[in-house]
Structure 1
Amino acid sequence: MRKLTTLCVCLLLTCNLAFAQNKGDLQTGNAIPTGEIPVDPNVKVGKLANGLTYYIQNNGKPEDKVELRLAVNAGSIMETDRQQGLAHFMEHMNFNGTKNFEKNDLVDYLQSIGVKFGADLNAYTSFDETVYILPIPSDDPEKLEKGFQIIEDWAHNTTLSEEAIDGERGVVLEELRLRLGADERMQRVTLPKIMYGSRYADRLPIGTKENLENFSYDDVRDYYNTWYRPDLMAVVAVGDLDVATMEQKIKDHFSKIPAAENPVKRESYQLPNHDETLVAIASDKEAAFSRVNVMYKDRRNAEPVKTIEDYRESLVRNLFSTLINNRLGELRNSANPPFVFGFSFYGGTFARTKNAYQSIAQTSADGQLEGLRAILTENERVKRYGFQQGELDRAKKSLLAQLEKQYNDRDKIESGRLVGQYINNYLDEEPIPGIEWEYETTKKLLNGITIGEVSELINAFIHDDNRVITLTGPEKEGLIQVTETDVLKLIKEVENADIQPYEDEAVRTSLIEKVPAPGTIVSTKENKVLGTKTMTLSNGATVTIKKTDFKNDEVLFQAYSPGGLSLYSDEELLATAFANGGLAQAGIAGLSLTDMGKFMSGKIANVQPSIQGFSENFRGSAAPKDLETLFQMVHLYFTDLNKDDEAFNSFISKQKSFLGNLMANPNFYFQDQTQRERNQGNPRFTGFPTPEKMDEADYDLAYKKYQERFADAGDFHFYLVGNVDEEQVAAFAKAYIASLPGKDSNEQFVPTKFREKDEYQKFVVNKGKDPKSLVNITWEEEIPYDAKTEMALNALGEVLTIKLVEKLREEEGGVYGVGARGTLSKISYSNVTFSISFPCGPENVDKLVAAALGEVEKIKKDGVSAEDLAKVKETYLVARKEDIKTNNFWINSLLRADQEDINPNEMMNYEKEVNALTAKEIQKVAQKYLDENYFLAILMPEEE
């Protein structure tokens, strides 16, 4: 498993954590396989004479595109003391001049063919590796050739001129500035304990300010010459091109790189064992969140998954993670939750050589010990009593369903989602057997995995040695800080506590216990331009479906009805705004969230209702086989949403814990204060949620208003896009949608009466002790809606972003990132919003604001160059070519056209409209709307 930060782990767990976690089965199969894990026959793996490894796969989604990666098996862990931060700095330098692309030429060229810097073209550096990311068109031989030339240049043709090195120092120092803050300060305390006794503790990839300012030209050149060599590199090429062509390109470009003479050994750095429990407690006045983490590092070094027996062991470990996290999820949804969220997993640490079992929780500021007790107790409960068969059966069903979905979509997976596994194979020896092998092998293995061996893992995971416990959180008046003594005492208390076995309560097997009387379909209308069909139901509701073949096992679902919060009185809005998010936490049809989790085992379907500013909505998705479950859930959210004070109070408790110290963070505080300033006089302004506002949230009124908002299904429009069976959808629509009450209310939203001031205003917020500033420049104006104006405003944002990067980043070296964005929306009234945003040093604010506004004035005066207009157009056309073959694009476009009363057929004219866009139109909207009446918001450090 990859080396993960806490945040990354949270995200991965949401998506079924690690390799093989989404695998399960209740079936019997053929004989249990043995031997080595094979390599996917769809990928060609080779090695050149100079030692460079390559991976190639033909994959047709998206069309006419190849994903290229250059993986360098060296990162910050390889740096000398004089080179700290230079592995990452070297990554930057590869975009700042190579043999075949002078400074800025590379980004300029890629923008001209529709590849966006940052969004498409990118790279990252970690402790152990550096990876470069380049998507390139495959249908143009010249562009394809240049793509391979670029990654060849990254491998061995970087020029590293003194001028370019000095020019990039400011950019990297600005990136370092972005990382300053509470998390960085607390990490200085916790990392030495987490990575105790290892080189990783003092080799963070960003480096140090002192070294970045003072390193010599030879320091970075030495790093490049030592570690950028073919025996430490892999090239990955996956995309819509035949394998032979890609392989020949790799050979042509990389075979000529000479093998390193007397290469420096690439060391594998260890994470030493320790007998004692290490405790690190860090607090900070600007910390927004409180977290606890218990890490049990393995005693032995990590071994790669090579054999089928290894693979089976990974299944057992990941089933364990699923089971323990199901229990922690139940605890999170309990009446008095001990944490905002909690989860456990077995996997990698920052060090490649060491795996660990970790339990993590986010808590309230004063609830760290309670959260720690909870995760320790759940681990202890498993240690004493193990898991139960029903838990394992459900986990296997769910894991198999997820794996089956991947298997069904195996010929529709995007190239960008394939390349990562080949990089991981090269860097970490992770297996690449392919989804067909995983699916078939898992079905054969999973049935033989017993509850005993899953439960037994806890004894290998948990031990007194190699244990590290970290606590991070706010420091504020009245808050008693946890001590190391408190933590060690708590460990003993849990070990000796009276802990009862887990009770696994069964749930019913049907979602709807009383089937409603079906309605009918009154009419069906087909739109041949868009390939959609719209059914009007007997209660007035409409259901639009678009059948696609973009994914085999995906149906996306959305629905909306006009009205939303705009139909609430000012008093009702303020009383319920922060209660609405907790309504669905009560569950449906008498089933709690925990019950629903059990019921949904083995099913792929989800639906979430919401009440937004100007509409009530549903959003969800399902595998085609589980579409009826989705429809049943929608029906129940209309008719049988539970009202449960205990569940709502649990929601409020978690929200208060999450929000408790949010305003200590300078960025959140800046956003809050800026919104308050811009909304002076707005009686419907709710602002950021706070613990006090959560306490005032009126659940009874929110539930009553929810029932009102969802009382009439007749003014809802439902959308389904994906691999839908039209006859099946029609049957489900009659049974579960047409059977809902239709009251012919025909509600419309009420436009906002409040308008922000259209005048110049400078608003400065002083918050935070780090030398960090944030600048937002915003223009807003009410105008009639016009599609051409909307496109011109969007294009102005793209063009201005290009110019601001050139000026503020490349020329001034004053920012790491900068962006501009223009929109024109019809909801709730037609208004232009245009903004420029960037972080920088406080000493540079005035200079960079002037420079940014100077770029605006240049466009107003001189217009947009043909080259920049061509870049924007190509970016739009390349993106649309891919987007139009995704379900997400279609469902969002259809919904937006309906909501904003736009002819949906116009989306098919997009290419024509882009090609017709002129530089004069972009200049005109700049002249008309980017005037002297703007809101300038600036975050500055607190004054001493």
Structure 2
Amino acid sequence: MRFIKTIRFFCVVIIFFASLLLSMAGVHTAIKIPKGTIKGRLANGLSYIIKRNIHPQNVTELRLVMQIGALQQTENQGGIAHFIEHMAFAGSKSYRGFNMVHMLEKKGMKFGRDINAYTGFDKTIYSLSVPIRFDSTKDIHQLLGMMREWLDGLTFDPAYVEKERGIILEELKQYDTNDDFYKLKIGDNRYSRRMPLGTIDDIKAVSKTMLRKFYSKWYQPRFATVVVVGDINARKVERILKETFVSAINTNNIKLPTYSVSYKKGWNMRFSLSDLGKCNKLELIIPHEGIVERTIKNSVDKHLSKIVVDLLNNRLKDRNIRADCSDAWYLGDKNFFSVVFKEADNAALLHDITSFTNEWNTIIRNGFDHREFAASLKDRLASIKIEDVDKTSEQWCDDFVDYIIMHDIYPTRLRDIESVKKYLAFCTIRSAQRMLKEWLQASKKTVLACYTAPQDSGLTLENIKKAWRKGLSNDLLCYTYKSCKEPVESLMQTPPCLGVVSTFDSKEIKSEKSYANIGIYDILLNNGIRILLRPTRDGSKTFFIEGLGRGGTADLPDSVYYKYESTAAFVEMGGIEKVNRDTLFNYLVQNGISLDTNISSYWHGFIGVAPVNKAQNLFNLIKEKVTAPEINKKEFDETVKEDLTSFGITTPLQEQLEHDKNRKIINIRDSIMGDAPSMLRRKRTIEDIKQLDIYKMVDYFKSLYNNTHNLTIVLTGDYDLQQMKEAAVGSFSKWQQKQQYTPPTVWRTMPKAPYRYKVSSANEQQLDLHFMLAGNFYPNLKTTLVLKLMRDIIQNRLLEVLRQRENITYSPFTDLLYHGQDGHNYYFDIMLTLDRGNVERAQKLLIKIIRSLQTKPISRAELQQLQLSFKATKARVLSDDATAAWRMDMVNKIKNCEMLSDFNSYDTILDSITPKNIQDGFVKYLNTDKFIIIGL
């Protein structure tokens, strides 16, 4: 009998472990590619990934991803991979010189924005963003054909090699990693000895023969992947892709080597002097093997690492240990586990290090509290969900590049996500301990210390190591977990004032218009309020509302300016008069409603968002906010007291902004052009702060909305037009006109003579300069389109002359800013980074370019190409699902006096612009005798 029981026992045990093993076997299942993705490989080894995606509409993203980069270079081939990337746009079998770029620009694409490339250590990516319907067989053949040219059709014409050499040398001069510790972080390995850009000597030594040799060796179809994502017929694209690339031939059998990011053993430290801020900052970095998401287990481990970091940071916070931890991929096969310490002095810094390692060691030995771990695990499980619903085609391409290069892919299918959650739930405290122990073991190999301080305070690497070891050897600590149970919130009732239902009365509408080409509905109410509705189809069932009216702080006289300058901030401290602030806050959060009011220099208004079925509640909230806001006297008094105490004291942030060269340039530009009228006022005094009166501020705030004829309301979102129209008209028609007020016309006076402003120091050889030309105008759509066309023509000439021909700058940029009702002014801002010795030469070339455009009209072909680009950009940006873009564009149209009737005829007005109109524009709007140069 006992024997039979024993047999039964062992059978049960065997069945249990067999079931467990069968269950756990699924953890090693490979993560599936996203649903709807076509993935394949041709006989020659070329891979492809194709996916249909309609976010955004009318745009298709194409990538040629070469698993080739700087790592494949030999010691005497520095910069070659990046040089070849440049040559891809400078001549191939079917496109001589820059003809490929010109052909793409005829489709409305722009070089640098829609036509681009990038070279890294382990990849070279060529990208096209096509702003048209990518469905004609001709277009697909042509664009995929260009990618085929990049793969095996480059010609390396010596003349163009020299052109690109000059461009790359300028790029090298302007290159900056923007990281004082980059050399420390990249380590001592093949990566650090194969920087993608190379050196100046490397680039000077490059020849056609060298380029051809590297290209022929490494640009093999088996190292290439074509990615196409967008509003496409995926099967049609696949068929044409096969036709295009099937004949590509591998000319060798070389295997792609793999390289690891490695570091010298031990502790390594670098110091960076910082004149910004007053604290010492030390970041300790432990490089360790990263987790590549290929299987369900990899994904589980990645989530576990996030749980561990969260638990560790929570524990440190609970212990009042001033340290912040993170773990993230850095480069190649390495992650960085990083701990940042910030203190006023070294003694406190070293104490924090000891406290941190003591706590770390305690957790490794004793583990986390089971309640502590369970709470974090629960939060992580709740956060895992499908997040790719509205992902853009560009974002999909980025994900696919990671998959191609790193074989890294996160779960997107429901079954995979459920599997990750299932196996993550099996993780235990021991799993977390094991991960922390592995990171600690990695610290025995390498620790990188990045130390930043206002001055060299004598902190040594030996001090840091001693503090680290001390914490590890100290006695283990006791810890009692304090559970923070969040109270379960009950569903709140709608406050009575927000629950009022307004009735729609068509008699309240004075006039209404519909603009079919742009899908905008324009309503004017009897009380003067204008309502603009633009339904979009983004699937969110939410909507945005923005109200705006002329009238802001710039209209105030100097005598009262500082009494009302901060009105918006103080009004936002309170809610509404009729509802308790906490009650209102909880109600809005529960119902997904938000509202902010604002007052800028020339405008006042509000911005809100809510679910479509809460539109009436939001409309009621807006009325209460602008007519009866809550006065938060307590916070007002506290803030004024703080301002009085801190008056005249420079904060670290203010100090940082004062030292920032780019900020200085922007401030000078804005003060000259009138974009920051407050800068022209006298400085605020302590007496101004003492005279602040919250009650007078609220009266000023409410007065801005007394003139209903001055208010325009813009509504965009995923709503039914008729229902939103009735709700909006019903609500806003009840607003009463209280005061007739016409805001003053703003006409900013532009500089009448040339200016030069010095920002750079005398020893700087590379200068960031702004060459500016400004004036006044009466805006309308045609005029602003002429100005925008002029901007792009100047940009094209800068690329042709200053970059490609003269090689004196790498990335010139031309900006245009203009103001309608709030300025009637414009200015062109031409931004160049130049060697000090090339400044005068650049100015002469700019003058020559502009005078040439004033004396001779551009070709009709160039203008038509730009007009097509404008249409393509409009179609891409203002697609039917672009809720935020439509709101911002409509608001800007109102501010800039651009009529919706003109915008409804956008293509017709754009096409009516002639080369003579452009020439006249250069004559009328640009005077090269009035150049303003900032940054010298």
Equivalent residue, structure 2, for 1:52: 46
Q: Check whether the contact 1:582–1:652 (CA below 8 A) recurs between aligned residues.
A: no
The counterpart of 2:123, out of the listed 123, 129, 135, is 129
SS in 1 for 2:849: helix
| SS of residue in 2 equivalent to 1:661 | helix
Residue 429, structure 1, aligned to residue 410, structure 2: no
- Greater mean alpha carbon deviation, residues 635-644 or residues 229-238: 635-644
Q: CA deviation at 1:857?
A: 1.0
For 1:549, which of 537, 549, 557 is the aligned residue? 537
Shift of 1:474: 6.9
Give CA-to-partner distance per residue, 1:374-394, whole Å, 9 cap, x none.
899789879756647666666
Alignment of 1:520-919 (within 5 A): 520-521=502-503, 523=505, 527-529=513-515, 531=519, 544-552=532-540, 555-570=543-558, 573=561, 608-619=596-607, 639=629, 644=635, 656-675=651-670, 684-685=679-680, 701=692, 707-708=698-699, 710-711=701-702, 717-724=712-719, 744=738, 750=744, 755-767=749-761, 769-885=763-879, 886-900=882-896, 902-919=898-915
* 1:177 to partner: Cα distance: 2.0
Q: Which residue does 1:417 correspond to in 2? A: 395
The aligned residue for residue 155 of structure 1 is 151
Per-residue displacement from partner, 1:257-316 (whole Å, max 9, x unpaired)? 2113142x4222223366644332222669999965332322xx3353232233233333
- 1:655 is displaced (CA, Å) by 9.7
Compute the displacement of 1:818 (Å).
1.8
Q: For the Cα contact (< 8 Å) 2:381–2:421, is it kept in 1?
A: no
Higher-Rg structure is 2
Deviates more, 1:537-546 or 1:32-41: 537-546
Superposed CA offset, 1:228-253 (max 9, x none): 22221111112333233222332232
SS in 1 for 2:84: helix
TM-score, structure 1 length as denominator?
0.79
Instruction: Check conservation: 2:108, 2:872, Cα contact below 8 A.
Output: yes
Contact 2:772 2:931 in 1 (8 A): yes
Q: 2:858 touches 2:915 (CA, 8 Å); kept in 1? A: yes
Aligned to 1:465: 444
Please say if 1:270 is aligned against 2:260: yes
Which of these residues, 215, 225, 228, is aligned with residue 234 of structure 1? 225
Q: 1:375 to 1:622 in 2, by over 3 A?
A: farther
Among 90, 109, 118, the alignment partner of 2:112 is 118
Structure 2: which 5+ residue stretches go unaligned? 1-22
Report the AA paired with residue 396 of structure 2: L
Which string of whole-angstrom CA distances, capped at 9 and with x for unpartnered residues, describes residues 407-459 of structure 1? 4x4xxx44223222222211111226545556665676777778996798655
SS of residue matched to 2:191: helix
> In the alignment, residue 260 of structure 2 is paired with which amino acid?
Q
**Letter of the 1:54 counterpart:** Y
Give the structure 2 partner of residue 14 of structure 1: none
Q: 1:42 matched to which residue of 2? A: 36
Partner residue in 2 for 1:12: none
**Distance between the aligned counterparts of 2:35 and 2:670, measured in 1?**
55
Instruction: Report how far residue 405 of structure 1 moved.
Output: 6.3
The aligned runs of 1:360-439 (5 Å cut-off) are 387=372, 399=383, 403=385, 406-407=388-389, 409=390, 413-431=391-409, 434=412, 436=414
| CA distance in 2 between partners of 1:453 and 1:130 (Å) | 38
CA contact (8 A) 1:522 1:536 kept: no
**Offset, 1:624:** 6.0
Q: Normalising by structure 2, report the TM-score.
A: 0.79
CA distance in structure 2 between the partners assigned to 1:731 and 1:655 by the alignment: 52
Q: Distance in 2 between matches of 1:542 and 1:123?
A: 46
- How many equivalent pairs are there? 875
Could you tell me which residue of structure 2 aligns to residue 16 of structure 1? Answer: none
Aligned with residue 297 of structure 1, among 287, 292, 308: 287
Whether contact under 8 Å (1:405, 1:553) holds in the other structure is: no
Equivalent residues of 2:821, 2:897 under 8 A apart: no
Distance 1:915 1:532, change over 3 A: closer
Aligned residue in 2 for 1:346: 327
Supply the distance in 2 between the matched residues of 1:503 and 1:747 (Cα, whole angstroms): 58
SS in 1 for 2:515: coil
| Cα displacement (A) at 1:878 | 0.9
Letter in 2 for 1:172: I
Residues 263 and 446 of structure 2 are in contact (CA less than 8 Å); yes or no, is this contact kept in structure 1? no
Gap runs ≥5 in structure 1: 1-29
1:193 pairs with 2:191? no
SS in 2 for 1:349: strand
1:777–1:937 CA contact under 8 A, matched in 2: yes
Out of 42, 56, 61, the position equivalent to 1:67 is 61
Separation (CA, whole Å) in 2 of partners of 1:627 and 1:405 = 26
Equivalent AA in structure 1 for residue 600 of structure 2: Q
**Distance change in 2, residues 1:634/1:37 (3 Å):** farther
**Matches for 1:321-340 after TM superposition, within 5 Å:** none
2: distance between equivalents of 1:141 and 1:847? 48
Q: CA deviation at 1:322?
A: 6.7
Shift in CA distance, 759/77, structure 1 to aligned 2, threshold 3 Å = same
Residue 861 of structure 1 and its aligned partner are, at CA, apart by 0.4
Partner Cα separation in structure 2 for residue 590 and residue 487 of structure 1: 52
Counterpart CA distance in 2 for 1:868 and 1:288 is 54
| Contact 1:274–1:465 (8 Å) recurs in 2 | no
Q: 1:100 aligns with which of 91, 94, 104?
A: 94
Residue 247 (str. 1) matches residue 232 (str. 2): no
Query: Aligned-residue CA RMSD in angstroms?
Result: 5.0
CA deviation string 1:329-356 (max 9, x = no partner): x99xxxx998xxx975433112x21223
Residues 825, 867 of structure 1: alpha-carbon distance in 2 compared, 3 angstrom cutoff: same
1:313-328 paired onto structure 2 within 5 Å: 313-318=301-306
CA contact under 8 A between 1:291 and 1:368: conserved in structure 2? Answer: no
